[in-house]
Amino acid sequence: MKMLIGGEWVNAKSGEEIMVVNPATQKFLDTVPNATKEDVANCLHHAGKGQKEWASLSLYVRTAVLAKCADRIKQQRDELATLLSSETGKTIKEAEKEISNTSLIFKSFAEKANHLYGQVMPDIHEGMEKDISFTRREPLGVIVCIVPFNFPANLFAQKVAPALACGNGVIVKPASDNPLTALRLSEILLECGVPGNALQIVTGKGSTVGKWLVDNPMINGVSLTGSTEVGMEIAKDAAKYLHRVFLELGGNDAFIIFEDADLASAVEEAVRTRAGNAGQMCCASKRFLVHEQIKEKFTNALVNRLSKLVIGDPLDPCTEMGCLISEKAAIQVEEGIKHTIEQGAKCIYGGKRFNKTFFPPTVLTDVTPEMDISKDLEVFGPVFPIIEFSSGEEAIRIANQTKYGLQNGIMSADISKAIEVASRLKSGAVVINGGCNYRHVEMPFGGCKMSGIGREGVSCTLEEMSQVKTYVLKSVLNTK
């Protein structure tokens, strides 16, 4: 597939390409251009013109286009889901759900944008009784949307839909491992009426293409979902020009399971929120804090449940867990487990990758709060480190000792206790009666501390991707 620059599908100026393979089979899928600095400069040249063209359309015209995009994505769910599963390694059921959510996100932002109101200031300021001051929202300008590999369709929608709804120009930088779904979605948007210079998509390595796009005065904002390390580099480059920055970064989320929790439900939530997408989720449950009274029972039940998990061909509807995005990613998970074992943990289930990119669910016991995995070591795979606690105070201390603050989960039969604990956890969200992995399309998703800046979701992103202008009509009222 080619990349989209200035309304045309083009190769890189150098002719260099990046091969895209199916991570489950290692079979060739397609190639994409490895963009050069000249390609990026050309893209930026078109972006400003495209933004003005798109913003000149009335809001109802723009949102009608986005609603049409939502319908088209829904109609082509099966095709998109198959492509998504093939290039990412997630199960076909997970891919189908993601494409359905992608359609919903486009539809929801179109509806929300049609009801985004300005404000009129009250006449409480003495001497200004004859004035009328009101606000309107205007586009930021050109926004670079950097989309990660783990949810390439969903997060494409969470960034691109609100940016376009607000009248911004958009440049998408997809992950180099699996850019095909984002490219196909871009084709659909063009077919539905988005101008080809208002939406552009540039493929290539993030370390170069991403930097060229962000470290540039011709853009106005950056929306990134990725690692904390990459987010810090992006923020540094953006700071030179005071670009508005939205960063959804890493996490090492704690799932706290109290002694009065329903054991069967806790196990199911643990599996769902850690084995889903083969553990490659920023808000997955990554630290399992289990009360000492039920730790042994929970561990045995967890291993028993994981032993029945069907791992295999992602395109097989019976498969419950697919593979990781690449062999490199699987090796990194293996290294994280090895490091934790060297610090004193025991691996009682799983632990070794197979077929290059597949990694079995892995249970680690004897994990102490002092170990790296209990603090800031984010393992991006299906690993279950079980950490014992004896009191609510201890659980809160362990949960909060990480540099991250994305989401947490609590299981307890005592709702008052759960809410009290939730109020003391330093994170952007807390799931009560469930694991950490939860994302409603409307919720203001995001974290604190090193988990990012800003929030993303239908309830808030339109405000983030627009700016307020105040209009003052001076001395227009005849007041006594």
One DSSP character per residue, 355-384 reads TTTB---EEEEEE-TTSGGGTT----SSEE
Residues of the chain with pLDDT > 90, as a percent, come to 99
Give mean pLDDT, residues 163-169: 98
Q: Report which of 48, 40, 412, 448 is spatially closest to residue 247, judged by C-alpha positions.
A: 448
Residue 295's CB: how many other CB atoms inside 10 A?
19
In this prediction, residue 479 has a pLDDT band, given cuts at 50, 70 and 90, of: low
- Burial of residue 457 (CB within 10 Å: 0-12, 13-18, 19+) is buried
Give mean pLDDT, residues 377-395: 98
Is 230 in a helix, a strand, or coil? Answer: helix
d(CA 311, CA 433): 27
Q: Report which of 117, 424, 439 is spatially closest to residue 276, judged by C-alpha positions.
A: 439
Give mean pLDDT, residues 273-288: 98
Residue spans of the domains in the chain: they are: 3-249+451-470, 253-432
For domain 3-249+451-470, which architecture applies?
3-Layer(aba) Sandwich (3.40)
Give mean pLDDT, residues 165-194: 98
d(CA 43, CA 209): 11
Give mean pLDDT, residues 462-475: 97
Helix 77-88 to helix 180-191 angle (10° resolution) is 160
Residues of the chain with pLDDT > 70, as a percent, come to 100
Encoded tokens for 61:
């015209």
Distances (CA, A) of 454 to 111, 247, 357: 22, 6, 33
d(CA 216, CA 6): 18
pLDDT, residue 478, reads 82
Q: Report which of 424, 419, 426, 430 is spatially closest to residue 402, judged by C-alpha positions.
A: 426
Tell me the CATH number of domain 253-432, given options 3.40.50.970, 3.40.50.620, 3.10.20.90, 3.40.309.10. Answer: 3.40.309.10
Q: Report which of 394, 401, 409 is spatially closest to residue 371, judged by C-alpha positions.
A: 401
Residue-wise pLDDT for 45-73, tens only, equals: 999 999 999 999 999 999 999 999 999 99
Residue-wise pLDDT for 224-261, tens only, equals: 999 999 999 999 999 999 999 999 999 999 999 999 99
- Catalytic (active-site) positions: 248
pLDDT, residue 480, reads 60
Within the chain, what is the greatest distance between any pair of CA atoms? Answer: 82
Q: Are 37 and 206 in contact (CB under 8 A)?
A: no
d(CA 142, CA 44): 9
Residue 347's CB: how many other CB atoms inside 10 A?
17
d(CA 308, CA 226): 32
Task: For residue 19, give the amino acid letter.
Answer: M
Pure H helices in 24-91: 37-55, 59-75, 77-88
d(CA 211, CA 144): 11
Encoded tokens for 206:
């993030």
Average pLDDT of the chain, as a whole number = 97
User: What are the two backbone dihedrals, phi and then psi, of residue 287, each rounded to the nearest 5 degrees?
Assistant: -130, 120
Domains 3-249+451-470 and 253-432 share a fold: no
d(CA 335, CA 389): 26
Q: What is the DSSP string of 403-461?
A: SEESEEEEE-S-HHHHHHHHHTS-SSEEEETB-S----TTS-B--EETTEES-BSTTTH
